[in-house]
Amino acid sequence: MSVGLQGMKGHKVAVEANVRVDREQFVIIGLPDVSIKESKERVLSCLHGMNLEVDMKKITVQLSPSDIRKSGTGFDCAIVLAVMQEVLEKRLPIDDTTCVIAALSLNGELVPFHGLIPAIQQAIELGFKRILIPSIDISFLQHVESVEIVPLPDIHTLISYLKGATLPAYLTNPRSFIQDVPSLIEKQANTDFSSIRGHPEAKRAMEICAAGGHHLLLMGPPGCGKSMLSDAFHTILPDLSLDEMVELYGIYHLARESRGMSTRPPYRHPHHSASSVSLIGGGTFPKPGEISLAHRGVLFLDELGEFSRKTLDMLRQPMESGEVTINRVRQSVTYPSNFILIAATNPCPCGYAGSHERYCTCSQKQVANYRLKVSGPLLDRMDFVLSLHSVGLQKDDAAESSAVVRGRTARAREMQRERFGKEWLNGFVPFQLLDERCGLTKGQKRFIQQICFERKWSNRSQAKLMRIARTIADLEGSENISESALQESIKWKSAAPELHIPLIPVGD
């Protein structure tokens, strides 16, 4: 048994072999790609290295299920074992609870391959009891207790192990992950909240967003602090758990991006000229995009009005579902994309509409066209929309540090996990589950419906008010939603500036 990947999701692959006396040939079937077809040379080289007679034999290898396309070199070792089961007089003791994930060199060494870490993670999810892999440091997987993960250097050691031999000590005693964490943590230089002067409302909104996984749009003239606030937002997010760290490491490994085993959530800041493929993911050989690399972290889109509308509209489905599915002619892949979107934009092309410092030189039509680049459905998914203004250097507030705010957001998230289970947060938990467990009284629900009816707010706005109020109550440490939390959520919705302005016909 082995594991195949479709995006970040794995499936079991049964590797079967048939060896018979016939015209010498080696055939692999089951929708293999070119890299798997080349496995036959590596497999034959290993078989000859073990003095196994395969001359004048036809070897047929089947990768099942045969209707799913297979890719990568991770099936090499499983193919060798499947052929050996047909060639050896005494079969090797391998059952369906054992999974083999390794590529081979020509001299029989088990070597890592691209996608090894996600494959190991998926093998654990699929319920295998024993996983045989190349000789790599598996200390970051020591928290997995129900699965035996065995790193092996070569095919000879693998065969000896399967026959009952004892492994060398250096293979059975990997280094302690806990001791190595400080040296593996990525060093990230972000702005601390205490160094930002003014903007108390923006800081409060960001704290709510970090606690509940809500999306935020900042609008204001150049130099008002949008980028600085967005850069500081990353520092108030709680640390990742061990499982989340390993999951992110696997995503970056699959995307061929460098990221250490860091406890800090990712922070991605793509340029506005980025293509839709680089942002969403995909390509000829699909790989995760920026929204997947920002999984469990922050995706910061600066100059939102400069992104193409088509690219921005592609964010709508991942923001709702927490994952992105990329459909191609030959395959369909799914990547996780549960991120917090922080967007920043100028109010107009020149940037000074509504500014108290400089006159705006844009016509009303230019302003309207600039704002219409961001579609209404995408804006409706932004939980907070804030209008910022410049703050003078003499403004000197006693601001809290990021560590203090991060402590509150971590406690609020812990309450949400206990309430909903899994990794759900208020910002993206399914509405039915939110409605059952949020703690709103019938009177409070009627009040929200009445407010939304009077102000002509959509049904999504009603759910948004419930989500924000629940997060505010979590920051207060309250099991029920207080009236003050509900009023504050309505205040945030009421204070949002109108982004799509109607054009006035000429002559009116």
Domains and CATH numbers, the chain: 2-177 (3.30.230.10), 193-404 (3.40.50.300)
* pLDDT bracket for residue 507 (50, 70, 90): very low
Work out the average pLDDT over 216-231: 89
Work out the average pLDDT over 75-83: 95
Q: Picking from 234-248, 290-304, 350-364, which range would have the lowest pLDDT averaged per residue?
A: 350-364
Has residue 32 got a pLDDT over 70?
A: yes
Predicted confidence at residue 179, as pLDDT, reads: 35
SS3 per residue for 307-357? CCHHHHHCCHHHHHHCEEEEECCCCEEEEECCCEEEEEECCCCCCCCCCCC
Query: pLDDT tens for residues 105-156?
Result: 999 999 999 889 899 999 999 999 999 999 888 877 877 888 999 999 999 9
Cα three-residue angle 334-327-249, rounded to 5 degrees: 25
Using DSSP's 3-state secondary structure scheme, residue 367 falls into: helix
* pLDDT bracket for residue 359 (50, 70, 90): confident
Predicted confidence at residue 16, as pLDDT, reads: 95
Query: What is the CA 14 to chain-centroid distance, rounded?
Result: 29
Specify the pTM.
0.84
Predicted confidence at residue 182, as pLDDT, reads: 36
Predicted confidence at residue 395, as pLDDT, reads: 56
Work out the average pLDDT over 178-205: 66
Predicted confidence at residue 53, as pLDDT, reads: 82
Work out the average pLDDT over 447-476: 91
Work out the average pLDDT over 353-368: 82
Has residue 491 got a pLDDT over 70?
A: yes
CA distance 230 to 300: 7
Query: What is the CA 99 to chain-centroid distance, rounded?
Result: 26
Q: Please count the residues of the chain.
A: 508
Is the preceding omega at residue 112 within 30 degrees of 0, hence cis? no
Has residue 355 got a pLDDT over 80?
A: no
Strands (E), 238-295: 267-268, 281-282, 287-288
Query: Which structure tokens are listed for 202?
Result: 């923006």
User: What residue type is 482 in one-letter code?
Assistant: S
CA distance 294 to 237: 13
A 10 A CB-CB count for 98 gives 18
Predicted confidence at residue 498, as pLDDT, reads: 64
pLDDT, averaged across the chain: 86
Contact assessment for residue 141 and residue 243, using Cβ atoms and an 8 Å cutoff: no
**Percent of the chain whose pLDDT exceeds 70:** 92
* pLDDT bracket for residue 19 (50, 70, 90): very high
Has residue 232 got a pLDDT over 70?
A: yes
Predicted confidence at residue 174, as pLDDT, reads: 45
Strands (E), 95-140: 98-100, 103-104, 110-111, 130-134
Has residue 183 got a pLDDT over 60?
A: no
Any bridge partners for residue 323, and if so which?
336
* pLDDT bracket for residue 465 (50, 70, 90): very high
Q: Picking from 125-139, 312-326, 389-403, 445-459, which range would have the lowest pLDDT averaged per residue?
A: 389-403
A 10 A CB-CB count for 320 gives 10
Has residue 186 got a pLDDT over 50?
A: no
Has residue 508 got a pLDDT over 50?
A: no
Any bridge partners for residue 265, and if so which?
none
Predicted confidence at residue 178, as pLDDT, reads: 34
Any bridge partners for residue 288, and if so which?
281
Work out the average pLDDT over 247-260: 86
Predicted confidence at residue 412, as pLDDT, reads: 95
Predicted confidence at residue 184, as pLDDT, reads: 38
Has residue 501 got a pLDDT over 90?
A: no
Predicted confidence at residue 243, as pLDDT, reads: 85
Predicted confidence at residue 175, as pLDDT, reads: 35
